[in-house]
Amino acid sequence: MTDMNTNEEEGKKSLNFIEAFVENDLAEGKNSGRIQTRFPPEPNGYLHIGHAKAICLDFGIADRYNGICNLRFDDTNPAREDVEYVDAIQDDIRWLGFQWKNIYYASDYFQQLYDFAVQLIREGKAYVDEQPAEEIARQKGTPMQPGTESPYRNRPVEENLDLFRRMNEGEFEEGSMTLRAKIDMASPNMHFRDPIMYRIIKYPHHRTGTDWKVYPMYDFAHGQSDYFEGVTHSLCTLEFEVHRPLYDHFIELLKEDDNYRPRQIEFNRLNLTYTVMSKRKLLQLVKENLVNGWDDPRMPTICGYRRRGYTPEAIKSFIDKIGYTKYDGIIDVALLEHAVREDLNVRAPRVSAVLDPVKLVITNYPEDKVEMLEAINNPEDESMGSHEIAFSRELYIEREDFMEDAPKKYFRMTPGHDVRLNMRTS
């Protein structure tokens, strides 16, 4: 009995804080005991190593608690998105060893989101604003000072409905109008100061073409998409923590079932030393031909690491080592490099190679003699067997292992000094 309790305590200690939340929700019977997560990338670039951390969490939580994880593309900004990125994201997730239950798109919910926006207008909780973005930002005030109400805030409902309809029909130019939620311009939470819900974008969407001229903002689309899909745990990085009250606010206005609501939980994002973790900056490198595409081995993209020789197991082991917390920090890239060496050490067969050869002739060795030496393919795994290496009068050594005029304390091959030859494998 004592051993069992000890094991249970050790199991609890090994849980990260997100798993502890999930287990508590299950114990309380929330959401009918369901666990459903989602990985929601925007298809505006290739995934980088930071996304791998989110992927491992979203899919890992679903796997551990017999739930499901869906892949949902946050395709609400057609000017920045492309089918190429949609395909690449799917390839990277599969390569990491995960499989989604369903594929969804935020665009699947465009009609539902639009209808919800219309509902809020009818209820006097949203209005069309004709001010430029700079003026709207100025009127929001500061964390210490309340904002100023828009002159369009108290427009009649019917006028707002008519303008919003005409915005979507393409009658107005980009930037000329937005749809804003009417919440509280004096709220201490800046995100509650009448946030923008919709903006006009006249650019063909990769799925819906030109059907829509208004597109929802992230804060309006994200939580509602979670709700429409039945997500129980919406896992986000820490920069979205300040957005959570707004996430909950919109869901409270939308939800019809008191027995279900998604829960947003934030965790620390991955920051690596000497590593660019911005899709915008990585896209710039690609567009300016400073690298040879998204899968250039110098890129911190998942496909870049794949070309560099990293394995899915190494990346997942690295993610497991760093864990998940509520505090941002910087991880030394050496830990990632250690993870791949550790993984390859047990799985990679060794080979003999001279990369920069210099010919060596052993003058006192018979010209016609050849000795076959056995080299183990992997000292960590005898099942990989061995291979033979020929030793004869003529050999090749690395150029850096020979120096004709060597300084003192040079212990490699040089005239007039003894040297020991080692058959190295790598």
Report the catalytic residues. Answer: 42, 269, 279
215-220: long-range contacts (C-beta < 8 A, 24 or more apart)?
215/76, 215/77, 215/78, 216/76, 216/106, 216/110, 216/113, 216/117, 217/76, 218/74, 218/76, 219/191, 219/195, 219/243, 219/246, 219/247, 219/250, 220/113, 220/117, 220/181, 220/195, 220/250
Are the C-beta atoms of residues 117 and 179 closer than 8 Å to each other? yes
Which residues, other chains included, contact 292 with Cβ-Cβ below 8 Å and sequence gap of 6+?
none
- Structure tokens of 367? 């010209």
Cβ count within 10 A of residue 240: 19
Which has the closest alpha carbon to 74: 242, 179, 222?
222
